[in-house]
Structure 1
Amino acid sequence: MNNLEIAILFKALCDENRVTIMELLKSGEKCACILLEELQIGQSTLSHHMKILCDSKMVVSRKEGKWTYYSVNENKIEEATHYLTTFSTSKKDKKCLCK
């Protein structure tokens, strides 16, 4: 992932509703109607949040009839996890040699 992709991905998680949506999707694919019911928000608000999550590629969608179904993109979550682990596995004992 490049820096722009990383920024888009983590920016997508900077909203409580989107974090809640990700929590709901952890258990599997959900229809937009279920997300609307769980979040108690309007359809246009849900569409806004889902666009951001889909643009970040953390969530994928598919149409079936008049409804859209959403699920977690496991590959993108693995990429984000890998990126975050690079912070904890970096060498922390490097000392500045500047004078």
Structure 2
Amino acid sequence: MSESNDAAERGNDQGASDVSFTVKSGRGDSQEFEFQKGTKVGDAAEEVAETYGYDPDDPTFVHPDEGELDRNKPLARYHLDGDTVTLVNEERGV
């Protein structure tokens, strides 16, 4: 793994320390969220689910190019800034 990928994997790559992206749900909710790049995908998904008033089981995001994001990886790994993802629960929209 290259040094820049190692840094992204840890969530501390150089540049802005926050990432902003839009999250859609299967219920029609759509809102922009901002998180620190080091935030794990699962933690961000749980916060989004709570914001929307959902009670999902192990939520994550699906990116149109990346597919389902690994809940245990930091957001920085996926370079989501400005993108739109879908909130899912066990491969289903919530």
What is the TM-score when the length of structure 1 is the normalising length? 0.30
Which gives a bigger RCO, structure 1 or 2 (Cα 8 Å, sep 6+)? 2
What is the TM-score when the length of structure 2 is the normalising length? 0.30
Structure with the higher strand share, 1 or 2: 2
Structure with the higher helix share, 1 or 2: 1
Give the structure with higher Rg (CA): 1
